Structure 1
Amino acid sequence: MTASPHIVVIGSGLAGYGVVRELRKLAPDARLTLVTRDDGHFYSKPALSTALAKGKVADTLVTTPAEKMAAQLRLDLRAGREVEAIDREDKAVLTTGGPIFYDKLVLALGADPVRPPIDGDAAHRALAVNNLDNYREFRAILPEGARVLVMGGGLVGTEFANDLSATGYCPVVVDMLSHPLAQLVPAGVGSAIREALAAKGVEWHLGRKVLAIHKSGTGIRAELDGGETIEAAAVLSAVGLRPHLQLAADAGLDVARGIVVDQTGRTSDPHIFAIGDCAQYPQGLAAYVTPIMAAARAIAPSVLGTPMEIRFPPLSVQVKTTACPVVLLPAPQGVEGAWEETANDEKGLKYLFRDRRGSVRGYVFTQDYCQERMNMDRALSEQTTGLAA
């Protein structure tokens, strides 16, 4: 009788727990071990950028405590363990609690906040809110109604600015690009978002970069490259995330922008898979909830010896800006084309991204037009299936 395989998963975010759930469905007798440097509680990371307006503290963001996750999934949970290295020859994960041997290994390492080079004696106060502990620390340093410097006007920075302004704080957003969400949406939509949030009290400094952050009597004083200074009580850094690669690179796995995987989620080592923010699929990086769940459903059978290709649905995103609701499907990386405005009226804005052949490959809808998201996703999914056939 063949012994049940021992599958080790590193990471307790949506990707890690998502693949464990799928593995447990398919293999009731498999030995599953999850290693995490965190406490292992399950929560929604996207909820961090809307938690203030919902009156949430860190503990109330936890949807399932670690002990309950371990019991439900019949899981050996090794929480509070740092993974120091992967020994591929002996198939062992080397942790601060000792080695853990595996038959198959799944890397769900997530992404790390980008730390831009900033001068000044308070540069270390720029806090990136990327997990529960970060959020707990952020809440602790936030005086009621304070001015908050938000570095970054991308998805996370804009969502936090919306959340802060809706809760009585005064966010000041600094971004090097010309409009909010500049890497995702055309200028017309960016202007609409900027104006809607400005009406709620958000102050924008676009086309600017923070050079230095100094201590001051009110908290901090930031110097911008245009000569402006900003006084604030706290600093939130939201300049982006970078896939966590070091562990995989040190183990000799192929890495590029992420840990390189094939269409089944397998890395350059046939016994190791990667999923989520750390993985670079053949289509590129694919963060967000929808691709993670799609990948988990395919990677689980692949890990268990039945290779299954990951099939991503249209990876549309809801931007959590209540002041200006937005849904979007980003234009595919490396595809030439242009944004076309198809509606601009009292219902909101509609933009379509068309490639050089005229095919719709992305979209941005605002306000009432957000209701058309499901129909558009369905149509694009059918179009993709037709092209593949």
Structure 2
Amino acid sequence: MSENASPTVVVVGSGLAGFGVLRELRRLSPEARLVLVTLEDGHFYSKPALSTALAKGKTSEALVTTPAEKMIANLKLDARIGREAEAIDLAGKALLTTGGPIQYDALILATGAEPIRPQIGGDAAHRAISVNQLEHYDRFRNELPEGARVLIMGAGLVGTEFANDLVTNGYNPVVVDMLDEPLAQLVPPAVGRKVRQTLQDKGVEWHFGRKVEAIDYRHTERGYVATLDDDTRINADIVLSAVGLLPHVKLAQEAGLEIGRGIKVNEYGQTSEPDIYAIGDCAEYPNGLAAYVTPIMAAARGIAPSALGTPTPIRFPPLSVQVKTTVFPINLLPPAAAVKGEWREVESDEHGDKHLFVDNDNTIQGYVLTREKCEERMEMDKLVGEAA
């Protein structure tokens, strides 16, 4: 980029990652031209709040923390709201959109992730709702009858949080998952069993080791009938799909950028094309995907100066997660997927549980805290950080 001209940085996506990096860019460069391209309405809100909004009586409008107009004014953005990014012209350094091409000095992809749509038979499989955006939550809330029986496909982080939120607010969640316990990919089995029992005591119905084969609609009191792979039939008023997310890589892939599970980036957030960066749910960092709030903000602090011409490595702190299950609080730091080791129970009493993940070199690489022991989160983050 020219030393005399103010740089043009184009950001695709208006989620936490997009706005997070735009804030850092504006803080570092008051004069830069910052262009936001988004198909959404450009309002700022917390996506993690979607799975706990019912308990707080939140409408989709109430979840918006900063309207688009204010974000645009505060950050002095050239905003292209409702525009689709169609392609990247690498040779011409231009983003091609439904509103025309936009030249860039640096392009930052914050395209997020999209819900996995499992292959399910039946005439109503397409009606399952995945809550990953405000408009999805709005539809879910509007279609949710009072005291509804809700079928949730998936007992991972989002599915378990929704089960907690629903059961504590007068609804009847029924959860189906192919694994053996809730949060099975994040916590040791002993903790999963306690989550399962605690929520079951509140009224959650679980079906583990099973998958939904078909969803059909019947004009009866509870319209949906789900058939599991053991021929069990589950009647429900509404179906929620929480089986996971896939990084949105289509734009990058069609441009020829290197793709793994996500858009592959280096320690600076750069893709295989040096002037193009990726951040957030769509990005695959050297240590893998990191689709939570803390890594997004850390990545923004590295990518923004790098995109403005000062290469700055991304420094990730310990990436711990607060699981928003109010009936059984959990804080955890999962080990990296490639790390080999085992979970060890350190404490288990009336105040909660503490489990450590220890690798083959006897180094602590992760932890799970429950109930009152969640207060030890900062201490544990420091311990794992020092061991890394």
TM range (shorter): over 0.9
Give the CA deviation at 1:45.
0.1
Aligned equivalents of 1:181, 1:36: Cα separation in 2: 32
**Residues 271-350 of structure 1: matches in 2 within 5 Å?**
271-350=275-354
Q: Which amino acid aligns with 1:233?
A: D
SS of residue paired to 1:81: coil
- Match status 1:364 vs 2:377: no
Equivalent residue for 1:376? Answer: 380
Give the CA deviation at 1:382.
2.1
- Match status 1:206 vs 2:241: no
Equivalent residue for 2:52? Answer: 50
Select 2:37's aligned residue among 35, 38, 43.
35
Equivalent residue for 2:226? Answer: 222
Give the CA deviation at 1:77.
1.1
Percent of matched pairs sharing the same residue = 65
Equivalent residue for 2:105? Answer: 103
Is 89-98 or 55-64 further displaced after alignment?
A: 89-98
Aligned equivalents of 1:36, 1:162: Cα separation in 2: 32
Per-residue displacement from partner, 1:323-375 (whole Å, max 9, x unpaired)?
A: 10001000221111000011111011111100011111011111011010100
Aligned equivalents of 2:296, 2:47: Cα separation in 1: 13
Give the CA deviation at 1:82.
1.1
Conservation of the 8 A alpha-carbon contact between 2:83 and 2:99 = yes
Aligned equivalents of 1:200, 1:89: Cα separation in 2: 59
Give the CA deviation at 1:383.
2.3
Aligned equivalents of 1:40, 1:344: Cα separation in 2: 45
Aligned equivalents of 1:84, 1:307: Cα separation in 2: 28
TM-score under structure 2 length normalisation: 0.98
Q: Which amino acid aligns with 2:277?
A: F
TM-score under structure 1 length normalisation: 0.98
- Match status 1:188 vs 2:190: yes
Equivalent residue for 1:67? Answer: 69
SS of residue paired to 2:117: coil
Aligned equivalents of 1:334, 1:208: Cα separation in 2: 27
Aligned equivalents of 1:61, 1:154: Cα separation in 2: 23
Give the CA deviation at 1:125.
0.9
Count of aligned pairs between the two proteins: 384
Per-residue displacement from partner, 1:112-151 (whole Å, max 9, x unpaired)?
A: 1000000001101111000000000001110000000000
- Match status 1:177 vs 2:173: no
Aligned equivalents of 2:312, 2:104: Cα separation in 1: 21
Q: Which amino acid aligns with 1:298?
A: G
Give the CA deviation at 1:199.
1.3
SS of residue paired to 1:236: strand
SS of residue paired to 1:124: helix
Equivalent residue for 2:272? Answer: 268
Select 1:351's aligned residue among 334, 355, 374.
355
Per-residue displacement from partner, 1:135-177 (whole Å, max 9, x unpaired)?
A: 0000111000000000000000000110111111100000000
**Residues 109-148 of structure 1: matches in 2 within 5 Å?**
109-148=111-150
Equivalent residue for 1:239? Answer: 243
SS of residue paired to 1:222: strand
Aligned equivalents of 2:223, 2:59: Cα separation in 1: 22
Aligned equivalents of 1:158, 1:219: Cα separation in 2: 23
Conservation of the 8 A alpha-carbon contact between 2:364 and 2:387 = no
Is 1-10 or 107-116 further displaced after alignment?
A: 1-10
Aligned equivalents of 2:367, 2:154: Cα separation in 1: 23
Q: Which amino acid aligns with 1:314?
A: P
Give the CA deviation at 1:257.
0.4
SS of residue paired to 2:101: strand
SS of residue paired to 2:202: coil
Give the CA deviation at 1:226.
1.2
Give the CA deviation at 1:96.
1.3
Aligned equivalents of 2:123, 2:384: Cα separation in 1: 50
Give the CA deviation at 1:308.
0.6
Q: Which amino acid aligns with 1:163?
A: D
SS of residue paired to 1:235: strand
Give the CA deviation at 1:247.
0.7
- Match status 1:259 vs 2:263: yes
Per-residue displacement from partner, 1:163-210 (whole Å, max 9, x unpaired)?
A: 111111100000000000001111100001011111111100010000
Aligned equivalents of 1:77, 1:41: Cα separation in 2: 12
Aligned equivalents of 2:274, 2:158: Cα separation in 1: 35
Equivalent residue for 1:387? Answer: none
Structure 1 stretches lacking a partner, 5+ long: 385-389
SS of residue paired to 1:312: coil
Aligned equivalents of 1:262, 1:330: Cα separation in 2: 22
Give the CA deviation at 1:81.
0.8
Give the CA deviation at 1:99.
1.3
SS of residue paired to 1:185: coil
Equivalent residue for 2:20? Answer: 18
Give the CA deviation at 1:86.
1.0
Equivalent residue for 1:84? Answer: 86
Q: Which amino acid aligns with 2:365?
A: R
Cα RMSD between the aligned structures?
A: 0.8
Give the CA deviation at 1:231.
0.3
SS of residue paired to 2:230: coil
Give the CA deviation at 1:100.
1.2
